[in-house]
Structure 1
Amino acid sequence: MTLDQIQTPAALIDLTRMQRNIARMQSRMDTLGVAFRPHVKTSKCVEVAQAQRDAGARGITVSTLKEAEQFFVAGFSDILYAVGMVASKLPRAMALRRAGCDLKLVVDNLEAALAVAQFGREHGETFEVWIEIDTDGHRSGVQPDEARLIDIGRALHGDDTHHGARLGGVMTHAGSSYDLNTSDALAKLAEQERAGCVHAAERLRDAGLPCDVVSVGSTPTALAAQHLDGVTEVRAGVYVFFDLVMCNVGVCTTGDLALSVLTTVIGHQVDKGWAILDAGWMAMSRDRGTSKQTNDYGYGQPCTLNGAPLDGYVLMGANQEHGILANVDHPDRDIAAHLPVGTRLLILPNHACATGAQFPAYHARSEDGEVAVWDRFYGW
C-alpha cells in the first residue's frame, strides 16, 4: 500500500521518526544505568512494542487488563498493570498469572492491599504487588512519609507461605511534568520524583519489608533526569510518538512527532478563510491539551505530506466528522486556491494517546513510502 491508496481519515505512523524516538529514550536509560519498561498504552500495538523491546526495553507497562491479555498472547510476559487494583478485577489478574504471565499489580490503599492478599490466600495464588507513591500531588498514590505506607506494605507481606501477596516494590508517575516548559523545572521535578520514590522504598526496608523495585517515570522526567540513584527502572509512553503537548513542554519538536492523522480537504468557507477537512474530533479526539500551554494548536497542527508544518494554520475547530482549518492570525481568503478540494494533509495531534485511540489500526509508513497496516487494541 502507498499513501495515496489510504482512505481518510487515517492514523499514520512515520517509522523513521518512531525508531529515532525509541533509540533516543533507550540510549538515555542505558546512560543512566536503569532498566526501561515502556508504557504501551500510547500505541496499544504489538509492532510498536516489539520495536521498543528490540531496542532494549525490559518488560512493559499497561493501563488496562485487556492490554495485558492481548500483549501476553503476543509474547510479552513481564507486565506491570499500572492502575490501582480493585477486588472485582482479581479473577482476570489471576487467570493471567496462572497462564504464565508475570503480572504485577499496583495498590495505593490498605483496603485494596487486604483484598488482594485475601483473594490470593483463598485461591492459592501469590500476587506480586507494588505500592504507588505520590511524588507530586498529581493523581494517585501514597505520599512517601505517610504512616499508611508501612501499613500497606505489611498487609502485602505476610510471614506465612500462603499469604496471597508479596510486596515487590514501589512506583510513581510525575504527571505534573506535563504542566512545565523549562529544562530547569523538568530536571527539578525529575529529582523530586526520584527522591520521593527512593525515600518510600527506604522507609519500607527500614521497617523490615522487601522493596526490590523502585520504578519512576514520565516522558518529560525520563528525558530530564540528571541521575537516577536508587531507581531500578523507568517507565514512559508518549515518547514513542510524541505530540504537541510534549512540544510545548519542550522535550521534542514537531519534527519528532511520529503520529499524525492523514486527512483530505473536502470543502471551503472562503469568506471565513476556512478549509473543511474530513478529520473532525472523531479522528483527532476531543483532547485540547495545548489550550492552557504557551502555544495553542487548536485540535492539531496541519502539515504537508512531507511533514512540514503549515505555519500560521491550525485545526481551529472540529465537529464529529468535520475539521475546520484556518490561519488564525491572517485569514486566508484564497484558501480554496492554496488548499483545493482533494488536497491531502497531515494533522499533528495534541495528545498521541487520545488520537491513536480513535482508530482501529495504524498505517505505518517507512522511509521508502511503503505502508503497512498495524492493528491496535481496544477496550478494558
Structure 2
Amino acid sequence: MNLKTVQTPALLLDLDKFTRNCNWMKEKAERLNVALRPHLKTGKCIEFARTQMTSPSGPATVSTLLEAEYFFNLGVIDLIYAVGISPGKFERAVNLREAGCDLKVILDNKEAAEQFSAYCEERKIPCPVLIEIDVDGHRSGVKPDSDDLIEIAKILQGKAYFAGVLTHAGDSYKCVGQAACLKAQENERDSLVHCANRLRKAGFEPKIISAGSTPTAVFAESWEGVTEVRCGVYCLFDLVMAGLKVCTIDQIALSLLVEVTGHQKEKGWVITDGGWMALSRDRGTAAQAVDQGYGLVCDIDGNPIDDLIVASANQEHGIITHRDGRLVDPKDFPIGTRLRILPNHACAMAAQHPQYFVVRKGKIVDIWNRIYGWQPKGVSL
C-alpha cells in the first residue's frame, strides 16, 4: 500500500511533523517548569497518545468517558475528564475510579457538586474534583471573583473532594499573533492564580492548577503559579492555527488524501472524492483574514498548489477552485490525480475517520486505529 494505491479519501498523518510538534511542546513545558497534560481528544489513538505524553501512564486529558475507558485499559492512569460532569455520567466516572484509574472530573456549579458528592458518598468511592473557571467568557466555568468558587469548594469535602482549579482560554482562538495570544495567556494564568489564592485564604489547598489551550501554550513565557498545561491540537496544527499565526502551514501534520473524479470545465472546477463526510463541515477559517474554504489543496507530497482551496463540498464531493475565482485548467489535474487537503480543524477532520495512515517521507509506514463516539463499548438493549 502506498499513496497511489490506498483507497481514498484517506486520513494521512505525517509522522515526522507530528513527532516534532509533540517534542517541541514537551521541551517547552519542561523549560517553563510546568507539567504537560496533553489533550488526547484530537488523536483518540493510543500510538498517537504515547507520542504526546511524557510517560506511558500520563498525565493526560480526555473529553469523553469513552476516551477515558479506552486509554485506561491501555495503561494511561492519570486522567482529567475535562467536560463538566453530569448525572448521567456519574456511574461511568466512578466505575473508572473503582477500577484503579486516577480520574479527575470537573464541574462549575453548586448543584452538580451536591449531586456528585451524594453519589460518591453512596458508592463510598473517593473522586477528586476540579472547579472549572471562566477566565475569558468563552463558555462554561465560574467567574474568578464569584462567591460560587468558595461555596462549591465547601460542598466538595467528602468522598467527592476538592482537588484544584482548571480553565480553558478558548477566546485565545480569536487572537492573532504572538502579542495577542500572550496577553490571553497572561490573563489565563493570572486569573487561575487569583482563584487559587482566594481558595487558599478560605482554607482550601488547590493541588492542581490547570491551564490550557494551544495558542496560549505556544506563546507562553511564564506559567508561574500554574502546575500543569493542557493543550491538544498543537501536535497536528491546522489552518485555523495557521490563521492565528500560531504555526506555519508546513507544520500541519494532518491531511486528507483525495482523488480527482471529474471536472466542470466551464466553471473551472476540479471534482474530488473528498466531501464534507471526509473533510468535516468545519469552516473555522471563514471568520479569519484568509478563508481557506473547506481546506487548502496540496500535491500528493503535501506542497500547497497555486492558492487552490476546496471551495465547497457535498457529502462525497469536494469542489476545488482558485481562491481568486480564476478557472482551473482540467489538463493540470487529470482524472485520477491524487491531492492532499489540509484541514481547517484537525480534530474535526480526524473525527470522520477510523484510522490514520501514517506517512514518512512519502511512504505509508503504519496504520493507527482511532476510536470515536460516546457510548460504552458493547452497549445493548
TM-score range normalised by the length of the shorter chain: over 0.9
How many angstroms apart in 2 are the aligned matches of 1:367 and 1:324?
Answer: 28
- Which residue matches 1:135? 135
- Which residue matches 1:179? 174
Please show how residues 211-230 of structure 1 align to structure 2 within 5 Å.
Answer: 211-230=206-225
C-alpha distance 22-56 of structure 1, shift in aligned 2 (>3 A): farther
- Which residue matches 1:199? 194
Letter in 2 for 1:301: L
Note the alpha carbon deviations across 1:79-120, whole angstroms, 9 max, x for none: 100000012211111111111100000000000111111111
Contact 1:35 1:57 in 2 (8 A): no
C-alpha distance 97-139 of structure 1, shift in aligned 2 (>3 A): same
How many angstroms apart in 1 are the aligned matches of 2:225 and 2:58?
Answer: 18
The alignment status of 1:235 with 2:230, answered yes or no, reads: yes
Instruction: Name whichever of 48-57 and 233-242 sits farther off.
Output: 48-57
The alignment status of 1:78 with 2:72, answered yes or no, reads: no
1:148 is displaced (CA, Å) by 0.7
Instruction: Name whichever of 369-378 and 191-200 sits farther off.
Output: 369-378
The alignment status of 1:18 with 2:18, answered yes or no, reads: yes
What secondary structure does 1:91 align onto? helix
- Which residue matches 2:368? 374
1:333 is displaced (CA, Å) by 4.7
What secondary structure does 2:288 align onto? coil
How many angstroms apart in 2 are the aligned matches of 1:187 and 1:55?
Answer: 28
C-alpha distance 333-47 of structure 1, shift in aligned 2 (>3 A): closer
The alignment status of 1:91 with 2:85, answered yes or no, reads: no
The alignment status of 1:319 with 2:314, answered yes or no, reads: yes
1:371 is displaced (CA, Å) by 2.8
- Which residue matches 1:160? none
Letter in 2 for 1:9: P
- Which residue matches 2:105? 105
What secondary structure does 1:145 align onto? coil
- Which residue matches 1:361? 355
What secondary structure does 1:311 align onto? strand
What secondary structure does 2:121 align onto? helix
How many angstroms apart in 2 are the aligned matches of 1:150 and 1:202?
Answer: 11
Please show how residues 163-312 of structure 1 align to structure 2 within 5 Å.
Answer: 163-312=158-307
Letter in 2 for 1:359: H
How many angstroms apart in 2 are the aligned matches of 1:280 and 1:143?
Answer: 41
- Which residue matches 1:147? 147
The alignment status of 1:344 with 2:338, answered yes or no, reads: yes
How many angstroms apart in 1 are the aligned matches of 2:332 and 2:89?
Answer: 54
Note the alpha carbon deviations across 1:308-351, whole angstroms, 9 max, x for none: 101221100000000000113152352x1101110000000000
Note the alpha carbon deviations across 1:207-264, whole angstroms, 9 max, x for none: 0012111000100000111211100000000011100000001111110000000000
1:2 is displaced (CA, Å) by 2.0
Note the alpha carbon deviations across 1:8-59, whole angstroms, 9 max, x for none: 0011000010011101111111111100000010111111101112579941
1:131 is displaced (CA, Å) by 0.4
Which aligned segments of 4 or more residues in structure 1 are displaced greater than 2 angstroms? 53-58
1:299 is displaced (CA, Å) by 0.1
- Which residue matches 2:378? none
- Which residue matches 1:117? 117
How many angstroms apart in 1 are the aligned matches of 2:361 and 2:328?
Answer: 35
C-alpha distance 146-367 of structure 1, shift in aligned 2 (>3 A): same
1:372 is displaced (CA, Å) by 1.2
How many angstroms apart in 2 are the aligned matches of 1:368 and 1:295?
Answer: 28
When the two structures are aligned, how many residues end up with a matched partner?
A: 374
Note the alpha carbon deviations across 1:266-294, whole angstroms, 9 max, x for none: 00001111000000000000000000001
Contact 1:26 1:57 in 2 (8 A): no
Contact 2:57 2:77 in 1 (8 A): no
How many angstroms apart in 1 are the aligned matches of 2:130 and 2:361?
Answer: 41
Task: Report sequence identity in percent.
Answer: 50
What secondary structure does 2:304 align onto? coil
Note the alpha carbon deviations across 1:173-206, whole angstroms, 9 max, x for none: 0011111112111111100000001111111111
Unmatched runs of 5 consecutive residues or more in structure 2 = 375-381
| TM-score, length-scaled by structure 1 | 0.96
How many angstroms apart in 1 are the aligned matches of 2:129 and 2:323?
Answer: 50
Contact 2:188 2:211 in 1 (8 A): yes
Contact 2:321 2:328 in 1 (8 A): no
How many angstroms apart in 2 are the aligned matches of 1:57 and 1:118?
Answer: 30
Contact 1:37 1:236 in 2 (8 A): yes
| TM-score, length-scaled by structure 2 | 0.96
Instruction: Name whichever of 19-28 and 315-324 sits farther off.
Output: 19-28
1:366 is displaced (CA, Å) by 2.0
1:370 is displaced (CA, Å) by 3.4
Contact 1:12 1:262 in 2 (8 A): yes
